[in-house]
Amino acid sequence: MRQYFGTDGVRGVANAELSPELAFAIGLALGEDLGRKGSRPEVLIGQDGRLSGDLLEAAVGAGLMATGADVLELGVLPTPAVAWATKAHGASAGVMISASHNPVEDNGIKIFGPDGFKLSDREEERLEAAIRGPGAPRPLGPGVGRRRAAGALRQAYVRHLGELGCPLTRRQVVVDCAWGAAAPVARQVLAATGAQVTLLHGRPDGRRINVRCGSTDLSSLARAVRARGQGSIGIAFDGDADRALAVDEHGEAVSGDHLIGMFAPWFRRHGWLKRDGVALTVLANGALRAMLAERGVRVAETAVGDRYLLESLRQTGYRLAGEPSGHLLALDFSTTGDGLLTAVLLLWLLGETGQSLAEAKACFEPYPHLEAARPVGDKARLAKDPRLLSAQEAEQARLGPSGRVSIRPSGTEPLIRVMVEGPDLAICAAIRDNLMALIGRLDREGG
């Protein structure tokens, strides 16, 4: 059983379970592993601007340099920029210090291989073993690693995205950067497409990252877009900008399911929809599945999480995948989810088709989809409680084949998540409330 790595790297409350000592040990383990492969390793490091980012970046970097690896500091930059730059520069690895959409006090460590993809389970398990092991002899004198800034790679990432797509006719785009990693580069990237860009929460602020803003709270973005009127759209990133959601000109939310519904036929026209298929998680809306089936697009279903989507893409040969949360993978363009890339592709689609975002998202009408989450003491135990599983089965029977009930532990937070979807909103709401009440009772009994 893995002790440190979860579904998306190592994550936890910074300076508590994700301590600088652990971050240093991760840097040591990674540096020693890379050092066994031959030449002096070079590792890129970026962060999303959280208050604990400097602390953990320094600790990971110190661990790497203690093994003889050189560190290139990217500063505050989106997670996908680290992945792209790692591959483009030919670095040995990339490290991102971020907890994505998690609360301010959390942080995390994500690691990318030289191909720009996140480490596999086997590679993470090898690092875990090295963290617990005795460690290798450390170099002295000129063998110790050094660090330097890597500003040129930041600008190369901006140029890479800005050169995609077709020119726009000064479309009004309001961008919510969530006080996070998109803030230093979002205006440059989207302005390069011809968009007229207004930023909300548009600078890194570790005290407010993800707080009532960004892709986890679209309310302020919706108000800003409605104020600008016809022809404007909104785009919201999470803290590390690996996902994006949108708001149409009426201030209505555009989910990741809507984005997949728009992108799949458009990708097919451009020849990017390999093998006429997409990968979706179990949370994808049933109406999206029906719409794709009508258009002859195959669907591969996965567990929740981008690592499972990527695994499915590699197995099926498909090149497009996504989650309702706005985490999209388009492997012809990026090795990982990239919110800025999603935004550029969306603007490209709208510019090419001449549609408004409201018109484009009308490709299907979603079934009512309700989600709720509750903090619990032992999420693993609760998720397997036979009383909860029995209740889920009974509620699924109540919904019938046109609806779905999902209960799962969060991969990154101490939460149990409930999702209910079906044609009847009232029934879905009653099922959600019943299950949340049961989870509360079971948690209190176990506490």
Query: Among all residues, which ones are annotated catalytic?
Result: 100
β-bridge partners, 244: 237
Residue given tokens 């998202």 in the structure block: 361
- Taken in order 264, 269, 272, 276, the sign of the CA dihedral is positive
Looking at residue 93, what DSSP letter applies? E
**Residues with Cβ within 8 Å of residue 184, at least 6 apart in sequence:** 75, 76, 77, 154, 204
Name the residue with tokens 């090795």: 335
Tell me, what amino acid is at 260?
I
| Dihedral of alpha carbons 394, 395, 401, 406, sign | negative
- Best CA proximity match to 279, nearest among 330, 238, 242: 330
Tell me which residue of 110, 127, 88 sits closest to 305, measured CA to CA. Answer: 110
Report angle CA 64, 66, 69 to the nearest 5 degrees.
45
- What would the two tokens of residue 293 be? 């089936």
| Helices (runs of H) and strands (runs of E) counted in the chain | 15, 19
The residues with which 417 forms a beta bridge, in sequence order, are 373, 408
The separation between CA 270 and the C-alpha centre of its own chain, rounded to angstroms, equals: 25
DSSP for residue 168: -
Residue for token digits 């002790």?
3
Q: What are phi and psi of 57, to 5 degrees?
A: -65, -40
* Cβ-based burial of 199 (10 A; exposed 0-12, middle 13-18, buried ≥19): middle
Distance from C-alpha of 33 to C-alpha of 130, rounded to nearest angstrom:
8
How far apart CA 205 and CA 80 sit, in angstroms, is 19
